[in-house]
Structure 1
C-alpha cells in the first residue's frame, strides 16, 4: 500500500485530505507542521509527501530539500495559496513533483497523487541517476566508451538527443549526464515519464493550461516546457505520446514556442530536449503511430545504449559498485564475490539489464552470510547456466552441468561462446545472411554483431551478395 505523508497546519484540511486519500486506498499519516512531518518522514519514511508551502517554523521548501536529500525518489507535492504560485513554481524547479493551488477540487489532488504514485514506483524499480554527470556511469567496455565520447561532444550543445535501448539500460542516467555536463547544469532539469500520463492530459502537462480551460482548471498552471526554461527537459517513453499531440510537440521543438491549453498568448522558451524510448520508433512510424518528421527532429543526436549482455566485461565493475551501495544501505559487510559466482553472472543473458543486476545484488546481500557472495547465493536460473536471450518463447537449452579438471569459470565461458556462435549462425541463416536483420533478431547492435562474426570466423560464411549494411527500405541502424 502506498504511504502518503500529509503536512499542513490547517486541521480541517488535514482531516479532509486524510479521509479522501484513505478512501482511495492509501496509507495516510498526517503532521500539523513541517518539523513534526520531517521527524515522521525520517523515522518511518513515506512514498509520497504532500506539504503546505507556508507553515510556521519549517516551511514547505525546507521540507522539500530535506526529503530530496534523504530520498530523491520520493515525490513531493506542494499545496499553495493562489498568491504564492510563483514560489510553487520555484519549488518545482528545485525538485518538487507538482503543486496544486487552494482552493482545489478533490479530483485534482487525486489525479496528482495517482501520478506521483506511478512515478515513485517507476523510480523504485529503476537505476537511480547520480548528479555527477558521466562520472556516475559505470563501465569501461568499448561500447560504453563510445557513449562517453558522444556525451563529451554534445552535452554542451542545444541539439536534441534521442536515447534508445532496452528497458533497464540506464537511459535516464545518460540524460542526467548530458544535463550535468552542460552549461545548463545550474538550471532546471525537468523529467516526465510520458507513459505515466493519461493521453488526454499530455498536452496540459507539457504546455500548461489557463484557468477555465477545462473542468477542474480552477487556476492557471505552467507546463513542463515553461518549468524547464533555460534548462533541460527529459521526455522518457517518448513513443507513448499520442499522434495528435506529436505535431504540437514538433512545433514547440522547431519554433521554441507554444500556447497553453485554453490560452491565446504565445510563450517562448529556451529548452534543451532529451528524449528516450525502448520502442522501435521505425516500426512505430511504419505502423502510423509515430510521425517521421518528429523522429528526425528528435534524433539529431542518437545515442544507442548497449544491452548488458553486449558489455559483459563491465559486469565485475557493476557488481562491485552495487555491493558497495547495498552494503551501506543494508548495513552489510559483504567483501566481494567469488570468481565462480562472477563467471556465472557474466554468462547470464540479463534480459532486465542493469536494473535486473542491481535488484539481484540487493536481494543476494539481504540473505548472504558472507564474507563473499558464492555460487550458492545466486538464484537457480543463474546457477543452472541460463546464458542466452531467447530467439523464440522456448529459447535455447540451458547449459548442462560439467565436471572434471576444467574449472567452472572456463566451462561457463566456453559454453557461453558456443551458444553465442550457434545463435548468431541460426540468426544469419534465418535472415538469409542479412546482418542488419540478424542483429535486430538477436537484439544487439549491427556493430556488435559484426564484431562477434569476426571473432567467431563467421564473416566468410555469410551468403554472397548480402550487404552487411542496412538496405534502403530498412531505415537507420538501431
Structure 2
C-alpha cells in the first residue's frame, strides 16, 4: 500500500488527515515542517507527499523545490487557503502534482492522493529521469540529436515513439531545454494515470460548481503550460471522446474550462509520447486519424537498446558514476567478461532495465570492478545472437511467463523476481537480520517485512 507523508504545522490537521488515510489503507508518516519532511524522505520510501503551503522554517514551495531536486519521482500535493491560490498555481508550474484549497472535501483529497499514487506507480521505474542526460553516440542516436537540434526552438508539435524504457521523457525535456521556452513551465501529464472521467478537467480545468466537489475554479494543464511546453505522455490512453477536444485545443490554441463559457487562449508547445502503435489504434477506431497527423508533425522514433548496442559501454560508465555518487560506493568499471555479457543480452526493458541492473551491481559490488560472475545467472546465460522472446524475459533475464500473458503480467512477474533476488541476497549477507537488511536496501523495516511476506521469504533468528 502506498506510503503518504503529510506535512503541516498544525497538529490537528496532521492527525485528521493521518486518520483518514489510514482508514483508506495507506501507510502514513507526518512531519511538522519542511525540514522534518526532508529528513523522512531521506530515510523512508515515500510514494506521495501532501504538504501545506505556508509553514514556518521551510515553506511548502521550498520543500517542493528540494523534493523535485532530490526525489523527483515522488508526487507533491499542495494544500492551500483560498487567498494563496496564485501561489498554488505557481507551485504547479514548478512541478507540484496538484493542489487543493481549504476547506476541502475529504473525498476530493482521497481522489487526488489516489491519482498521485497511481502516477508514482507508473513512474517509479523512471527515478531521477529529470536529471538524467541523453547518453549515446550510435548512428541512430545521432539522428535523434539532429532532429532535436532542428525542432527544439520551433512551435511544431513533436510525437516521440519508442518502446517502454527507451528515454522518451528525456527527449521531451531536452527539446524544452533547448527551446526559447526553457524559462517557462514544462508541464507533464501522464495520460495513463488519469481516470477517463477526469481527463477533460485535468487538461482544461473547471469552474466553480461544474460538478460535485468543484468548490472553486481551477486551471488545467494547458493554462499552466501557457508560454511553455506541455508534455502528454502515454497519449494513446486519451479516451476517444476527448480526442476531438484535444484536437481543437491544438489547432485553435483555445478551449473552455469544464462548466465555463469563456474561451481561453494559450500559447503552448505540445510534445506527445507513446509506446503504443497509434496507427493500429486508428485501425481499431480507438484513435482519431486527424489527431494523429496533428501530433506527428515532427515524429521522433527512439531505437530500442538492442539496436544501439554500441552505446552500452557509454551507458554503463554513466550509470556507474551516477550510482557511485548516490550509494556512496567507489566502483570504477565492469570487467571484460561483464561487458561482453551486457553486449550479448537482448535488453527487452531497454535503458531502464540496464539502469536497474547497474544500480543493483554497484550496490552489491565488493570492490572497484563489477565482475561478470556477479551478474544474474539468467543474464549470463544469454548467448551472443540469441533471440530474446519478450514474453519470457524480465529485468533478471529469462522469466517463465504463462503463454499469452499480458505485458503487465510479465512486468509484474519480472519485478517480483528482481525484488526476491535483491532481498534474498541482503538477508543472506546480514545473517537473516531484517533490520540490517532493510538498512542495506534503504527501505523501512516494515516495508521489507511486507515484501518478505508477499514473496514467501523469511529472516533468520536475529530479526530484532
Task: Name the TM tier (shorter chain).
Answer: 0.7 to 0.9
Q: Is the 8 A contact 1:161 1:299 kept in 2?
A: yes
Alignment of 1:315-394 (within 5 A): 315-386=312-383, 387-390=385-388
Show CA shifts across 1:330-379 (max 9, x none): 11222111112101111111000000000011112222223211121111
SS in 1 for 2:318: helix
Q: Partners in 1 of 2:69 and 2:159 — Cα distance?
A: 29
Alpha carbons of 1:30 and 1:301: their partners in 2 closer, same or farther (altered >3 Å)?
A: same
Matched, 1:280 2:277: yes
CA contact (8 A) 2:346 2:388 kept: no
Structure 1 distance, partners of 2:35, 2:345, is: 48
Following superposition, the deviation at residue 159 of structure 1 comes to: 0.3
Deviation larger for 74-83 or 61-70:
61-70
Higher radius of gyration, 1 or 2: 1
Which one is further off, 23-32 or 176-185? 23-32
Corresponding residue number in structure 2 for 1:20? 20
Distance of 2:12 and 2:372 partners within structure 1: 57
User: Do 1:179 and 1:232's aligned partners in 2 also have CA atoms closer than 8 Å?
Assistant: yes
Counterpart residue number, 2:225: 228
Runs of 4+ in 1 over 6 A off after TM superposition: none
Q: Which residue of 2 aligns with 1:156?
A: 153
Q: What's the CA shift string for 1:149-190, capped at 9, x where partnerless?
A: 000000001100000000000000000000001000000000
> What is the match of residue 408 of structure 1?
none
Aligned 8 A contact 2:348 2:390 in 1: no
| Distance in 2 separating the partners of 1:186 and 1:394 | 44
Instruction: Tell me by how many angstroms 1:390 deviates.
Output: 4.6
Give the TM-score normalised by structure 2. 0.81
* Post-superposition offset of 1:139: 0.3
Q: In the TM superposition, what are the counterparts of 1:48-87 in structure 2 within 5 Å?
A: 48-87=48-87
Bigger mean CA offset, 83-92 vs 70-79: 70-79
Report the TM-score when normalising by structure 1: 0.79
Aligned residues: 392
Q: Following superposition of structure 1 onto structure 2, how do residues 247-326 of structure 1 map, counting pairs within 5 Å?
A: 247-326=244-323
Unaligned residue ranges in structure 2 (runs of 5+): 394-464
Counting only pairs closer than 5 Å after superposition, residues 85-96 of structure 1 correspond to structure 2 as 85-96=85-96
Inter-partner Cα distance in structure 2 for 1:307 and 1:138: 13
Kept after mapping to 1: 8 A contact 2:335/2:371: yes
Distance 2:229 2:370 in 1: 41
Report the counterpart of residue 181 of structure 1 in structure 2. 178
| 3-state SS, counterpart of residue 329 of structure 1 | helix
Provide the C-alpha distance between the structure 2 equivalents of 1:394 and 1:123, rounded to a whole number of angstroms.
23
Confirm or deny: 8 A CA contact 1:163 1:277 kept in the other structure: yes
5+ residue gaps, structure 1: 396-478
